[in-house]
Amino acid sequence: MCIIFFKFDPRPVSKNAYRLILAANRDEFYNRPSKSADFWGSHNEILSGELVTHFLTTGVDSLSYLKKVSAEGHLYNGFNLVAADLSTARGDVICYYGNRGEPEPIVLTPGVYGLSNALLDTPWRKLCFGKKLFQEAVARSQALPKDVLVAQLLDVLSNEEAQLPDPAIEDQGQEYVQPILNKYAAVCVRCPGYGTRTNTIILVDADGHVTFTERSMLDKDPSRWEISTHEFTLQS
C-alpha cells in the first residue's frame, strides 16, 4: 500500500523554487529481497530502484510510453504509472495512467497530487491527510535549506496517525485488512512483518539540479534506518 505525493511546477518563478518535489513511501513485506536505488545502465546514467526499464532505457517520451502501456492495460491487475520528461531545454511534462480508470493516459497540469492504492487523487482519508501535510511542507520550501526541507518531508512520510473511519479503504481491503485497519489507514504503515520500508524524496530545482534522497530500513528492523543521497544535473 505505497503512497506518493508530488508538486509539479514546470516554470518556477524563483531560482529558489523547485520544478518538482516528490515524497514517496514503498510498503511491502520486510523479508522481501530488495536493493537500494543506485546508478546503472551502459554509462551509469540511470538512477532507480524498482525498474520500468523500457521507459528508462529508450528515448520514448512519457505520453507515448503510457499510450503504449494503456493499449495493454486491461491484461493486468490494477496498477498506476507516473512518467515524466524533465528537460531544461524543452520544458517539463508529467503524465499519468491507471488501468482501472480512463482508457487513455493524461498530461498533468501544474499542481499538487497524491497517489496510493487507487486512482490518482482518490480521496482516501490517509491520502488527503498526507497531502495536506505535504502541501504545508512545500509551502515553506523556498525559505528552507534543502536538508531541512528533506527532513520535513521525511517527517510527513513517517506519520503513523490512522485516518479513520474510511469506508473506501475498508471496502478495498475487505476482510483481509480489517484486523490491521488502524495501521493501513496511516501514511506510514507499520504492521508486524509488513509496512513502509523505504522513503524517497526527489527535488528538482529551477536549473535542473536533482537531489535524490532514499531512507531505507535496515535488517527488517523498523527502528534502524540508513539514508543515502545522490545529486546530479538533468541531461538536456
Residue where the block lists cell 487513455: 104
Q: Which of 219, 187, 5 is nearest to 112 (CA)?
A: 5
How far apart CA 87 and CA 14 sit, in angstroms, is 17
Angle at alpha carbon of residue 27, lines to 153 and 135, rounded to 5°: 25
Q: Are 199 and 158 contacting, i.e. CB atoms less than 8 angstroms apart?
A: yes
Cα dist. 27→38, 80, 152, 183, 187 in Å?
A: 19, 15, 20, 12, 10
Q: What residues contact residue 57 under an 8 Å CB cut-off, 6+ apart?
A: 41, 46
Q: Which residues of the chain have pLDDT under 70?
A: 1, 49, 51, 88, 173-178, 236
Strand 194-205, strand 18-29: pairing: antiparallel
Is the entire prediction scored with pTM above 0.75?
A: yes
The pLDDT assigned to 172 comes to 74
The pLDDT assigned to 169 comes to 81
pLDDT tens, residue by residue, 71-80 = 999 998 999 9
- Count of CB atoms situated within 10 Å of the CB of 42: 7
Residue where the block lists cell 515524466: 84
The pLDDT assigned to 51 comes to 57
The pLDDT assigned to 15 comes to 81
The pLDDT assigned to 180 comes to 77
How far apart CA 121 and CA 191 sit, in angstroms, is 25
State the DSSP string of 146-202. Answer: HHHHHHHHHHHHT--------HHHHHHHHHHHGGGHHHHTSSS-EETTEEEEEEEEE
CA dihedral 81, 203, 25, 30 (to 10 degrees): 110
The pLDDT assigned to 173 comes to 66
Burial (0-12, 13-18, 19+ Cβ within 10 Å), 135: middle
Q: Are 195 and 182 contacting, i.e. CB atoms less than 8 angstroms apart?
A: no
